[in-house]
Structure 1
Amino acid sequence: MKLQLGSADPYTPDPFNDFINALTISGASDNTIRIYSIAIKDFLDFIKKDPREVTSADLNSWIMNILRRETRDKSADNSIEKRRKKTVTARLYVIAVLRFLKWLGKDVKPTIPRVRRLEVKALTEDQIEVLMKNLRRTRDKLIISLLLDTGLRAKELLSVKVSDVNLSNRSIVVRNTKNGETRVVFFTEKTAKLLLVYLEKYRPKKDDRLFDLSYYALYRKLKRLGKKLGVDLRPHILRHTFATNAIRKGVPLPIVQRLLGHKDIRTTQIYTHLVNTDIEEMYKKIFG
């Protein structure tokens, strides 16, 4: 749902705080408010003048400053993925500041950094089978099974409480989502059996989180498990795997979009290119 922020009082002496208040009142998520606050403060500190007087050139200078600042440390990891992440950050900041300026009634058109699409990777059926066979701990099996069954983001999975899980219809209510909209995802009977064993073993209370892990701990756990098997295992690769398998098995794209929590179906469409190999193989099988 698009935020209804209204417009600024043209005589406000504190447009920054007024804008943050407008975000809060409109129902923006804590994460959105945090990103906007950081981006706009950074911009205001850089331009050192009333934001109602800025030009496109001011914004372009600030954007260049962000990009230079992000790459200043020569010792930092300068891989394609890291460089892309820096550009993503700069783009998020620019979009936040442009929304702030639009709210002020200021129309500027800076150059917006372009983010190159990162190649999407997914596990094969063979890799999934080897991975699951080599897992020993119930919790590890359950985490990976849930990520493969639901396509949840890591932070969404780690926010799930025991009370959000419905074993009778094998569903999970996901409340702490990226776009702030609650959604429901589902899991298989095989995962339900693992979940029963896990709940019996650890006996968490209804208001407890299902998994008492930090994002960093989960990320390290998956990387470590993957390294043992020679598989690049990260939370988002399991999400990609779910989406690819869902499309491969014939789940309509709008339903995959809802399950993944994408606001724009174009984001979901990036997974369709991963099944092109299936199309090629089927064509060759039929036509030779």
Structure 2
Amino acid sequence: MKLELGSPPESGDLYEAFINALIIAGAGSGTIKLYSSAVKDFLDFIRKDPRKVTSEDLNKWISSLLNRESKIRGDEVERRRAKSVTVRYYIIAVRRFLKWINVPVKPPIPKIKRREVKALDETQVLKILEACKRIKDKLIIRLLVDTGLRANELLSVLVRDVDINNNMIRVRNTKNGEERVVFFTDETKQMLKKYIKGRNPDDKLFNMTYDALYRKLKRLGKRIGIDLRPHILRHTFATLSLKRGMNVITLQKLLGHKDIKTTQMYTHLVLEDLRNEYLKVMSAK
């Protein structure tokens, strides 16, 4: 996170000063929430002036994070991974805080195993759309597959953010805090026209919570025997876009990735598909 936070105060509440510095520097809401939780957790654990923190303090805190019971939804492997991701981000946040207050202690940052990326093929997408009984459900699926939006980003979109004439949605509430634009197909455009007709511009496009959306997708997937979750549709958009010839730089911008390395993981999926197709054809000789 490349933000200019300035210098810490000589006295006063360092935690509040750090969070205010993040806000003033223009950090995204997600970053502020994460850093607030991480630094508060750390300070509550050490119960001392953070300027007097030692490596031993940090190691004890990290051990406590690793030993806490995970409350993440999902199977055991996914819970462990989600837990290790949270620990990693907490440590990065605290390290940034300590650097800001000029404490020369660097905690070790654990590596995490890359999550298996699951994506649907075009046939599976069509089956899901056919399983939708309501236009709202079908529109949600189409928009997630057309745009690659994260679930929370889609749920933050207002009616006025939708530019029907240009097949475009302006996404203001993003993970990294930077506004971006995504696009949708003409087929989705026709559905959107009917769906938003007469709606108040300041209304949310889909007035529902993340949990409600998650459950809805799980139910739709169950109808056709697929474990469907919001991020799978984002992965699907990315892999289908690359297969149809989109370049990685364009895909990075549409997905809202800060680091192109995050986007490049999808090229591995496409290459894997090509390899499997090649072996299937060549083995048939």
Q: Which TM class, normalised by the smaller chain length?
A: over 0.9
Aligned residues: 282
Please tell me the residue identity of whatever aligns with 2:5.
L
- List runs of 5+ in structure 2 lacking aligned partners: none
**1:238-264 CA-partner distances (Å, limit 9, x unpaired):** 000000001111101010000000000
Q: What is the root-mean-square deviation of aligned Cα atoms in Å?
A: 1.9
Question: Aligned runs of 1:1-288 on 2, under 5 Å?
Answer: 2-9=2-9, 11-71=10-70, 79-200=76-197, 203-280=198-275, 281-282=277-278
Taking the aligned partners of 2:212 and 2:162, their CA distance within structure 1 comes to 22
Task: Tell me, yes or no, if the aligned pair for 2:98 and 2:104 is still in contact at 8 Å.
Answer: yes
Task: Tell me, yes or no, if the aligned pair for 1:7 and 1:105 is still in contact at 8 Å.
Answer: no
Task: Tell me, yes or no, if the aligned pair for 1:122 and 1:237 is still in contact at 8 Å.
Answer: yes
Taking the aligned partners of 1:30 and 1:177, their CA distance within structure 2 comes to 9
Shift of 1:282: 4.7
Shift of 1:194: 1.1
Shift of 1:57: 2.1
Shift of 1:31: 2.5
Please tell me the residue identity of whatever aligns with 1:13.
G
Q: Secondary structure at the match of 2:117?
A: coil
What is the identity percentage for the equivalent residue pairs of Structure 1 and Structure 2?
Answer: 57
Task: Tell me, yes or no, if the aligned pair for 2:18 and 2:97 is still in contact at 8 Å.
Answer: yes
Shift of 1:109: 2.0
Calculate the TM-score normalised by the size of structure 2. Answer: 0.94
Task: Tell me, yes or no, if the aligned pair for 1:161 and 1:208 is still in contact at 8 Å.
Answer: yes
Shift of 1:283: 7.3
Taking the aligned partners of 1:127 and 1:117, their CA distance within structure 2 comes to 24
Shift of 1:274: 1.3
Taking structure 1 as reference, are residues 226 and 284 closer, same or farther at Cα in structure 2, changes over 3 Å only? Answer: closer
Taking the aligned partners of 2:74 and 2:225, their CA distance within structure 1 comes to 22
Shift of 1:94: 0.8
Calculate the TM-score normalised by the size of structure 1. Answer: 0.93
Taking the aligned partners of 1:54 and 1:267, their CA distance within structure 2 comes to 33
